A and B are shown apart, each in its own frame.
Chain A
Amino acid sequence: MINITNLSKSFGKLSVLENLDLEIKEGGIFAILGPNGSGKTTLIKCLLGMVIPDKGTISINDKSILKKWDYRNELNYLPQIANFPANLSVNELIDMVKDLRPKTANETELIAHFGLEPFLKKKLGHLSGGTKQKVNIVLTFMFDSQLIILDEPTTGLDPVSLIHLKELIRREKEKGKTILITSHIMSFVDDTADEIVFLLDGKIYFKGSVSQLKERTKETNLENAIAKLITE
Chain B
Amino acid sequence: MLKILKYSIYDLLRSRWSYVYFLFYLLLGFVLLFLNNDVNKAVITLMNVIIVLTPLIGTIFGIMYFYNSKEFTELLLAQPIKRSNIFMGQYVGISLSLTLSLVLGLGIPFIVYGLFRSAAIFDFTLLLVVASFLNFIFVALAYNIALSTENKIKGFGYAILMWLFLAVVYDGLFLISLIAFNDYPLGKFSLIATMFNPIDLSRILILLKLDFSALLGYTGAVFKEFFGTAFGMVMSMLVLSLWVILPVLNINRKLRKKDF
Contact = CB atoms under 8 A, between A and B. Distances in A.
Interface stretch (B50-58, B68-76, B101-109, B152-160): B68-76
Interface in A24-82: 45, 48-52, 69-73, 75, 77, 79, 81-82
B77 interface: yes
B81 interface: yes
Given A79-B71, A85-B72, A87-B14, A48 B80 contact: no
A171 B76 CA distance: 26
B210 to A, nearest CB: 40
B71 A83 contact: yes
B147 to A, nearest CB: 14
Interface string B77-104: 1111111000000000000000000000
Contacts of A87: 11, 14-15
Contacts, number: 63
A50 B74 contact: yes
Q: Is the interface of B mostly helix, strand, loop or mixed?
A: helix
A117 interface: no
B81 A11 contact: no
B257 interface: yes
Interface in A172-221: none
Interface residues on A, range: 20 to 34
A45 B260 contact: yes
A122 interface: no
Given A87-B11, A100-B3, A11 B259 contact: yes
Nearest to B74: A79
B76 A100 contact: yes
B79 A83 contact: no
A102 B80 CA distance: 9
A73 B80 contact: yes
B7 interface: yes
A101 B80 contact: yes
A84 B259 CA distance: 20
A50 B78 CA distance: 7
A96 interface: yes
A99 interface: yes
Interface in B200-221: none
A182 B62 CA distance: 34
A21 B37 CA distance: 75
Nearest to A48: B78
A88 interface: yes
A97 interface: yes
B78 A72 contact: yes
B11 A85 contact: yes
B71 A84 contact: yes
8 contacts: A50-B74, A50-B77, A51-B259, A69-B80, A69-B81, A72-B81, A79-B78, A84-B72
Given A45-B260, A52-B257, A83-B72, 10 more contacts: A49-B77, A77-B78, A79-B75, A79-B78, A85-B11, A85-B72, A87-B11, A87-B15, A100-B76, A101-B80
Q: 8 nearest interchain CB pairs?
A: A83-B71, A73-B80, A77-B78, A72-B80, A51-B259, A50-B260, A87-B14, A69-B82
